[in-house]
Amino acid sequence: MRFLKGRGAYVVGGVVVALLWCATAALGQTEPPAATESEEAAEAEAPYPQFPMPEDPGLRPPQDVEIVDFPDDEGNCLLLNWEPSPDDSAPARPREFFDLKRGEFRFMSAAHKQQRREEWDAAAAEANKRERSGYVIRRKPTSQAEFLWEPNGETGPVFSPVIILPGFRQYQDNDFQFLVPIGEDSVLRGESPPTPEELLEMREEQSLLDPRLTRWDYEIRYFEDGRMSEPVVMANTGPRGNYYNRKWTNVLLMGLVSSILIISFIFSARSGRELYVRPVAGLQAVDDAVGRATEMGRPILFSAGFAGVDNISTIAAMVILGRIARIAAQHGTKIIVPCLDPVVMTALREVVREAYVSVGRPEDYEEDRIFYLTGAQFAYAAGMAGIMVREKTAANFYMGYYYAESLILAETGFMAGSIQIVGTDSYTQLPFFIVACDYTLMGEEFFGASAYLSREPKLLGSLKGQDYSKLLIAVFMTAAILVATVAGLAGADGIAEWTQQLFQYASS
Amino acid sequence: MRKQVPFLIATVMGIAMVAQFFIPTHGLVQMQSVVLLYGRIIGAFALVLGVASLIRINWIRAKRKGEGWTYAAVTIIGFVAMFLAGSLGGFFIAPEEPAETAAVTSESAPAEAAVEPAATPPQKSYDFGAGLDMTKNRVFAWMFDYIYTPMDATIFALLAFYVASAAYRAMRARDLTAGLLLGAAIIVMLGRAPLTSYYWDQLISQHVKFIPSLGDVTEWLMEYPNTAAKRGVYFGVGLAALGQSIRILVGLERPYMAGTGD
């Protein structure tokens, strides 16, 4: 048993853990449920509808067909609504995108999506039982003489017929940009739709029909058991661009209220009113960090993050760099700024040069201290780590947006003995920075850093406005939670749903 | 004029971009894509500046042979090698043989098959930029796959050790909050590891009713306290970004002029 001492014990322990791991994996492994034979047979036997089918006057088409422009968009989507054909015995499904009667959007929650999937599966199973019934929709430019089932390069563009399962009463046609070649022999729908740049290029070559400049005809039929009804034709229609996106009304209102608060506090500060802003330890440490670097005769390292110059984090980092560079220029401390983006590099050079000029030391400015390191994430981290170790930087500032490389930077700086101050709005990296760095400016503190550092009343006024906006949001949220809870308990689901929709953010 | 014109441009463009967010008309959407296109064009020019800066600084460092000059030399060699492979490596691209030609040249193909493919009208290709496809450039792809990617992965892998050392420092239970952090971290780590989660459930949770599954506790920690904290940061960031934008739009801060507006 002597081998169980020392290194042998680790080896045996490692083998035991590995065996346990394998056993767990073997026990925990579950096979995906195999499709039953009857399901497979049903799938194989169910004929996929082949169009055109023979027309059957006895089969009734869908009722009350209407086409409306899809609201709140650029003008590339139409909405077809109809009532089911009297011959469609499938249960009617709710219209999910836009309810014309209620005139509002029905936002999809996760539960709603799950319900939607289940409904879709049920409808597909129903259609299979009835040998694929449903609705078929076709579209053509009004200028084209007739609807076509098959591609025909000489006659005009052809759009693949769309098949809708029985019971459904709505179709959202936003395929305009994917199937629009003119004079070509087929549609462009494929594995990889063209990128926006390619679309722009094709549009410039006039090989695309612009949906906003083109009028369209639609036809819709009900089909069942290899027969189809007569068509209902909706002629000369088209989408149009909208002048206001109603989905973001709540964002607009809150933005306006916050902006008014911020601007009013800026004016209030300009009129000479004293404003108290709580002290932030990380910002008070900026002067100390630069002073430490001066005393030690070592440089300062500044990183503006991993975002481009169009990102608000990078802009905030630029403003802070201006302040730090001024202090460094006054003390005669060297500042090193390795950059990830050449555009950011160019902007930061201007910021630092301006800082040196503003304190009357333009001759001390060295352009090569702000340089392009690399555009690759981990190569940048490696390069920064090398600079910290070789140059023995006394103070490291990480300002901007960061990703997984954050801990490589922060831990290397910690091991090199640098004082480290971070400012970021990257909440996923905040824990790493908090652990490894001396001071961390979280989110709003980072954006407010320039105001804190300058102590200018006008800038401090904007911070005060932000604080009051936050208070307003907190009060509003608490009230809404109370209303929604009481309404839910009292059975007033309409009020509860409305309260929830106040906070709904539509991403597109 | 030197101050007013950039301020005017920044304010007008800033307001236009905010307006585009709420007004989805075709004209404004197009304007946004054109502005983004300008950004990319400027980026392409700036890349030349960046590369020039990279070469110049490393060249000077290697020439002076100061401390760490070998790293500078390796950077230049790496840059030149990848540049040559990317720009000249196209000569090594094997031409792709069309399927029709392959069928015709096959000895087993009947003689009339040689005529058939030629009658097929040429199909229009939408494969833009195929000539610049670096994955077909074998030299460049080899260098990328077998030199750059492993080195990149090596640096990424270092994170595991950095996480361990940072976690060791963070999880010393010095006070109540550090103790809470330590407790939550242990639960989440054990709950996310398949081995511990499985044996906890098998040996404890299934036999003692009031002890929940480790996975459930982990999910609760991540879903509720963690999400609540994250949303707090979101609110702060959103409002602060709005405040920063207003300061820039009204000219209180002018980062585009390398100054703060004063």
Q: State the pLDDT at residue A129.
A: 74
**Burial (Cβ within 10 Å: 0-12, 13-18, ≥19) of residue A191:** exposed
Per-residue pLDDT tens digits for A134-165: 899 988 878 777 888 875 545 555 667 888 88
Q: Taking CB atoms and an 8 Å limit, are A454 and B198 in contact across chains?
A: no
User: Is pLDDT of B122 > 70?
Assistant: no
**Average pLDDT over chain B, rounded to an integer:** 80
Lowest mean pLDDT: which of A80-84, A254-258, B9-13, B136-140?
A: B136-140
| CATH of span A275-455 | 3.40.50.1220
Q: Taking CB atoms and an 8 Å limit, are B166 and A407 in contact across chains?
A: yes
Per-residue pLDDT tens digits for A38-54: 555 555 555 567 888 89
Residue type, B171: M
- Which of A312, A316, A408 minimises the CB distance to B162? A408
Where in chain A are the domains? 63-243, 247-266+459-502, 275-455
* Residue A156 backbone class (left: φ over 0; alpha: ψ -120 to 50; beta: rest): left
CA distances from B95 to A460, B58, B105, B133 (A): 65, 38, 16, 13
Q: Taking CB atoms and an 8 Å limit, are B71 and A28 in contact across chains?
A: no
Our CA-based measurement puts residue A48 at a distance from the nearest CA of chain B, in whole angstroms, of 28
Q: State the pLDDT at residue B123.
A: 44
Task: Kindly identify which residue of chain B lies nearest to residue A350, measuring between CA atoms.
Answer: B258
Tell me the residue ranges of DSSP E strands in A321-447.
335-339, 370-372, 395-399, 419-424, 439-442
Tell me the residue ranges of DSSP E strands in A70-133.
78-83, 98-99, 104-105
- Which of B42, B124, B237 minimises the CB distance to A443? B237
**Average pLDDT over chain A, rounded to an integer:** 81
- Taking the Cβ of residue B243 and every Cβ of chain A, the question of whether any pair is shorter than 8 Å is answered with yes
Helices (H) and strands (E) in chain A, counts: 15, 16
What value does the mean pLDDT take over residues A294-313?
94
User: Is pLDDT of A356 > 80?
Assistant: yes
- Taking the Cβ of residue B179 and every Cβ of chain A, the question of whether any pair is shorter than 8 Å is answered with no
Q: Of B259, B223, B247, B240, which is closest to residue A466 (Cα–Cα)?
A: B240
Q: State the pLDDT at residue A423.
A: 95
User: Is pLDDT of A103 > 70?
Assistant: no
Task: Kindly identify which residue of chain A lies nearest to residue B22, measuring between CA atoms.
Answer: A245
Q: What percent of chain A has pLDDT over 90?
A: 43
CA dihedral angle for residue B226, residue B229, residue B235, residue B240, rounded to 10 degrees: -120
Name the residue with higher pLDDT: B111 or A324: A324
Q: Taking CB atoms and an 8 Å limit, are B240 and A444 in contact across chains?
A: yes
Q: State the pLDDT at residue B36.
A: 86
Q: State the pLDDT at residue A2.
A: 57
Q: State the pLDDT at residue B6.
A: 87
Per-residue pLDDT tens digits for A115-132: 767 777 777 777 777 767
What value does the mean pLDDT take over residues B152-180?
87
What value does the mean pLDDT take over residues B215-237?
91
Six-digit token pair at B2? 């030197």
Q: Which CATH architecture has domain A63-243?
A: Sandwich (2.60)
Residues 6+ apart with CB under 8 A from A427: A443, B230, B233, B234, B237
Our CA-based measurement puts residue B108 at a distance from the nearest CA of chain A, in whole angstroms, of 32
**ipTM of the predicted structure?**
0.80
What value does the mean pLDDT take over residues B107-111?
42
User: Is pLDDT of A166 > 80?
Assistant: yes
Interface test with A, best of B54, B242, B254, B262 (most A CBs within 10 A): B242
Our CA-based measurement puts residue B113 at a distance from the nearest CA of chain A, in whole angstroms, of 24
Our CA-based measurement puts residue B88 at a distance from the nearest CA of chain A, in whole angstroms, of 22
Q: Taking CB atoms and an 8 Å limit, are A376 and B22 in contact across chains?
A: no
- Which of A252, A318, A339 minimises the CB distance to B255? A318
**Burial (Cβ within 10 Å: 0-12, 13-18, ≥19) of residue A360:** exposed
